[in-house]
Amino acid sequence: MKQILIWPTASTSQKKVLWYSLILFFICLADTLMAYVTPLVLNEYFGHMLVVGLVMSCSSVVGLSTDWLISRKLPNTNYRFFIKWLILIGVWFPIIFWIFPTLAVGYLVAMMVWGVYYEMINFASFDFVNRSVQPSEHAFTWSILDVFKAMALLSTPIVAGLLFEIDQNLVFLLSLACFGLASFIFSTNKSSEIQPLPKSQLSPQRSQSEEVQIWWQMLKKIWPIYIFFFSMIMLDAAIWVAGPMLSEQIRLFSQAGSFVIPAYVLPTLLAPVIISRFGKIFKRTRVIFLMAIIGAIVLGVGSFIVGVSAWIIPIILLASLFIAIDFPEVGGIFEDFYDRVDEFGNDLTGLRNSAVSLAYIFGPVSVGLLAEVLNYAHILTVFAGLLFVSGIIALLFTPNRIRMPKAKLVSIISYKNRHRTGSPLARG
């Protein structure tokens, strides 16, 4: 798996990873084009960052509800289902911005659409990795997926910024085209079709109370990592909401302002190389926490000192060199949990996704509130401080080995009239 992915000579699993990565690239390109211009469009329309934060948070409120419903009602769905539906739903995000540019209710509906399809990306990716590669390759595979996402993220600020200055509708049309390309690539690989499970192997839908108990049992085991991951996404949300504004402020006196977001994303491209060479070191979760703590110190202190200036770009780049490694590694940790809980994999993904949704609820609102009293550079200092604190907590309270409560999870669900003949997560 760790040799270079070359389509003609690659193994079946490598081809599947490359195929999925290309789909993910175009989906993420479509998404990040919209993510970059959304705060700019909303700020232009509403004229107040707090309102912008509240409107953008609506997407994550819907996203949190989506996590909950998928965990309860769709425990047996696979990545092909999620890809198909996220594309069908996702195309409406740019369409609504394009057709209804002067309606506040249109922006709210667009945020709801964003919340639904974005969560499906994570459900699809966790199921795909679990079905397609061995557990020992989870973190490396996540780093490959992150590279393709990073390539989309790197190209977005420059392309979106230029198109936005010409005509913002061009951004929406390009986003639509990217969704179309993702759909085309998805349709080219019929060999990845997944046979439906026999009824005897289907995991039952959960009631509200059962899902609460399932999430609670898992959260009791993984809470330090959950809090740490939540803080990582809070910082991510802050950069994506405040970053475009910071970029525009710096561009008033320096063209370097265009590189605020690329500086944050660029180190992600190095993650597969670092993980493949030093993977054994990063298998130790405490090293992951230490990397985040160092990155948080660099970003927090650096952004506080340099403020709104071009010097913040190398600060963000240096901090991201430490933090970028953590995203695929934490993804690998959750993937290992997914593998160990069998039919509760979507429940685990829903719990993990809830951290993302909550971070993107509180993150944009917090940026809006802080923007009333701080500049955008110092806002990053606050979120870096949050990551620093959560890294310390995770370092102190994460056990060497986390045992997932499989027996307790099974006992929660009623298996009336159900005869289990094997694992419901038979690999495709």
DSSP state of 204: P
Which pLDDT score, from 0 to 100, does residue 364 have? 84
Query: Cα(379)–Cα(367) distance, rounded to whole angstroms?
Result: 7
Q: CB within 8 A of 287, min separation 6: which ones? A: 281
Q: What is the pLDDT of residue 426?
A: 33
**Tokens 């540019």, residue?**
101
What the block records as the tokens of 366 is 């917090």
**Nearest of 29, 61, 7, 88 to residue 360 by alpha carbon:** 61
pLDDT along the chain (428 residues), means of 10: 43 81 94 87 83 86 90 84 94 92 85 92 90 81 85 79 82 94 88 53 74 92 95 92 85 82 84 64 73 95 91 94 85 85 84 91 88 91 96 91 82 54 36
pTM of the complete model: 0.79
- What backbone torsions phi and psi does residue 67 show, to the nearest 5 degrees? -55, -45
Instruction: Give the helix ranges, DSSP H, for 266-375.
Output: 271-282, 285-306, 312-323, 326-340, 345-370
State whether the Cα torsion 276-277-278-280 is positive or negative.
positive
Whether the Cβ atoms of residue 18 and residue 10 lie closer than 8 Å to each other: yes
User: What are the structural domains of the chain?
Assistant: 14-187+204-412 (1.20.1250.20)
Q: Residue with structure tokens 């949704």?
A: 357
CB atoms within 10 A of CB 103: 13
Predicted confidence at residue 279, as pLDDT, reads: 55
- Residue 160's pLDDT is what? 80
Determine the pLDDT at residue 417.
Answer: 36
Two structure tokens written together for 275: 């993980």
Question: CA neighbours within 13 Å on the CB side: how many for 350?
Answer: 25
- Residue 164 is predicted with a pLDDT of 80
- Alpha-carbon distance 246 to 41, whole Å? 15
